[in-house]
């Protein structure tokens, strides 16, 4: 009897072991097939949105390498705490392949552009798994979150974040209910370093405004942060100025010019500095709600904007005080 019981336990344990060792099959945003033998536990991220998606899924302990300058942001530092993932470079300065290889990662997240493709190919040739991700829209961001969650065994957390994003989206939709597209405010998006550089419809910032019920006056202008002149800006007759987050004062100085008096008098919505709301990120929907509530205050007067966004940060990052709007005494 005892021998039969022991044999049954051995069989059960072997069965559980085989389940846990089931390979994870993934298809990244370049269409590459990637197979992991188990959930990734040593992760390297090579650019800012990848850092944010990883941290939103609670992977700070698994993050052994981090890309970009965002490691030095107050937001990311607060989440990392005493953890010290190695900086492996950035998209602008270049990513160190040697540093990544030395970290012996299970998974590397690379950006879906030419340099990223080359890096992914090099890593594959060295037997290191990588996922090419390209979160350039809200839909893309959902896919990235789902893909990374599957790769790391954090599907439950991803589902909670997705539910929160849906909740915020429904608040926006309820507030804008009854407005037709031609009733949306016309807004000009100003780059933080130059008033005359704006967001084209190929950029995420255009979609951010669209979700918030804002018509981008620069729709139809091609390019990445295309340059426009003062005459064009005045001809567009925007009703609102949406300003990118940054410590730069150049835009303030440009608005003081006599030609810009009309633009300087417009209502302005400034995206909070360090919020990462003006890029594809897990918390971009909070940015859309922030813009909508500030653009149409009468339509959102019955919601507590600070509380709604703080709740999102509590669910996504485990700390409501990480919200850029939180300045209460308990968060100081």
Candidate ranges 11-15, 70-74, 163-167, 246-250; pick with highest mean pLDDT: 163-167
For residues 210 and 172, give the distance between their C-alpha atoms in angstroms, rounded to a whole number: 11
Structure confidence at residue 260 (pLDDT): 92
Q: 167-331 adopts what CATH topology? A: Rossmann fold (3.40.50)
Architecture of domain 20-154: 3-Layer(aba) Sandwich (3.40)
Structure confidence at residue 12 (pLDDT): 43
Structure confidence at residue 18 (pLDDT): 42
Structure confidence at residue 19 (pLDDT): 45
* 123-131 CB contacts, 8 Å cutoff, 24+ apart: 123/97, 126/101, 128/100, 128/101, 129/34, 129/35, 129/36, 129/40, 130/34, 131/26, 131/28, 131/29, 131/32, 131/34, 131/107
Same CATH topology for 20-154 and 167-331: the answer is yes
Structure confidence at residue 328 (pLDDT): 58
Q: How much of the chain exceeds pLDDT 70, in percent?
A: 90
8 Å CB contact between 306 and 326: yes
Q: Considering only 162-166, 256-260, 298-302, 316-320, which range has the smallest mean pLDDT?
A: 256-260
8 Å CB contact between 275 and 220: no
Q: What does pTM read for this prediction?
A: 0.90
Structure confidence at residue 15 (pLDDT): 46
How does the average pLDDT of the chain come out, rounded? 90
Please choose, from the candidates 216, 217, 278, 268, the residue with its C-alpha nearest in 3D space to the C-alpha of residue 245.
Answer: 278
pLDDT tens, 41-91?
A: 999 999 999 999 999 999 999 999 998 777 678 899 999 999 999 999 876
Q: Is the pLDDT of residue 331 over 80?
A: no
Structure confidence at residue 17 (pLDDT): 41
- For residue 20, the tally of other CB atoms under 10 A from its CB is 10
The domain spans of the chain are: 20-154, 167-331
Burial class, 26, CB count within 10 angstroms (exposed 0-12 / middle 13-18 / buried 19+): middle
Q: How much of the chain exceeds pLDDT 90, in percent?
A: 79
């Amino acid at each position: 009897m005892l021998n039969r019981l022991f044999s049954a336990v051995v069989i059960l344990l072997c069965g559980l072991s085989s389940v846990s060792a089931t390979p994870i099959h993934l298809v990244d945003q370049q269409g590459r097939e990637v197979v992991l033998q188990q959930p990734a536990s040593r992760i390297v991220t090579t650019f800012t949105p990848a850092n944010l998606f990883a941290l939103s899924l609670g992977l700070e302990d698994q993050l052994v390498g981090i890309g970009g300058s965002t490691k030095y942001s107050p937001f990311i530092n607060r989440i990392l705490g005493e953890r010290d993932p190695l900086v492996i470079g950035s998209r602008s300065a270049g990513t160190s392949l040697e540093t990544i290889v030395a970290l012996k990662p299970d998974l590397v997240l690379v950006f879906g552009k030419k340099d990223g493709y080359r890096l992914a190919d090099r890593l594959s040739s060295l037997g290191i798994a990588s996922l090419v991700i390209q979160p350039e829209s809200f839909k893309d961001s959902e896919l990235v979150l789902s893909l990374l969650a599957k790769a790391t065994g954090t599907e439950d957390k991803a589902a909670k974040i997705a539910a929160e994003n849906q909740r915020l989206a429904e608040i926006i939709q309820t507030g804008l209910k009854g407005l037709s597209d031609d009733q949306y405010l016309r807004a000009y998006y100003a780059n933080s370093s130059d008033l005359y550089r704006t967001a084209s419809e190929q950029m995420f910032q255009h979609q951010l405004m669209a979700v918030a019920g804002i018509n981008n006056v620069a729709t139809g202008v091609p390019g990445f942060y295309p340059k426009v002149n003062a005459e064009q800006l005045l001809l567009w007759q925007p009703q609102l100025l949406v300003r990118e987050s940054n410590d730069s004062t150049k835009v303030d100085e440009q608005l003081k010019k006599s030609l810009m008096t009309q633009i300087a008098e417009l209502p302005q919505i400034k995206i909070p500095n360090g919020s990462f709301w003006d890029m594809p990120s897990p918390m971009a929907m909070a940015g859309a709600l922030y813009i909508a509530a500030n653009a149409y205050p009468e339509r959102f007067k019955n919601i507590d904007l600070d509380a709604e966004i703080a709740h999102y940060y509590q669910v996504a990052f485990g700390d409501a005080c990480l919200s850029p709007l939180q300045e209460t005494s308990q968060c100081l």
